[in-house]
Amino acid sequence: MADHAISDTVTIRVDRFRRWLPQLVAATAEIGCMDATELVAPCRIGWNIKLRAAIILAAVDVFGKSWSEIGRALGGRNHATMRHTYKTAERLAQHDAEFQKLSQLILAVAREIARRPAMTVEIEPELPL
């Protein structure tokens, strides 16, 4: 029987892609002076819609996320709603100065979130000898 080396620690790389969107939603809610639950709630107030639209623009541009992933992060909205909101956001970015500033700010936040290194967790298992 061959001897095998056993490591004292196990390093796990946490999937940062699963963290990015919730972090972006939380940061955007703070920018919009509201709670993240308000931002993802089924509300059609103009300010909430603009904030969600800016998140969608940033998520596609920086993270390359699918419509479904973005929809799940924004309260379980479907992919068609996300695609429609993205197209609306592109039009808003051309004609609405307030939205241009907002989307640039949220895009900068998304880039900062993406720049952070992946998180690693070290576990020291207690193995019976």
CATH number for 49 = 1.10.1750.10
Q: Which domain holds residue 96?
A: 15-115
* 36 CB-near residues (< 8 Å, 6+ apart): 25, 26, 29
Distance of CA 98 to the CA centre of its chain: 22
Tell me if 8 is assigned to some domain.
no
Tell me if 124 is assigned to some domain.
no
User: Which pLDDT tens digit goes with each residue over 12-69?
Assistant: 444 455 578 888 888 888 888 888 888 888 878 888 889 989 999 999 988 887 888 8
Tell me if 122 is assigned to some domain.
no
Tell me if 121 is assigned to some domain.
no
pLDDT band at 107; cut points 50, 70, 90: very high
Question: How many independent structural domains does the chain possess?
Answer: 1
Helices and strands in the chain, H and E counts: 6, 2
7 has pLDDT over 90: no
Q: What is the mean pLDDT of residues 59-88?
A: 87
Tell me if 123 is assigned to some domain.
no
Tell me if 6 is assigned to some domain.
no
110 has pLDDT over 80: yes
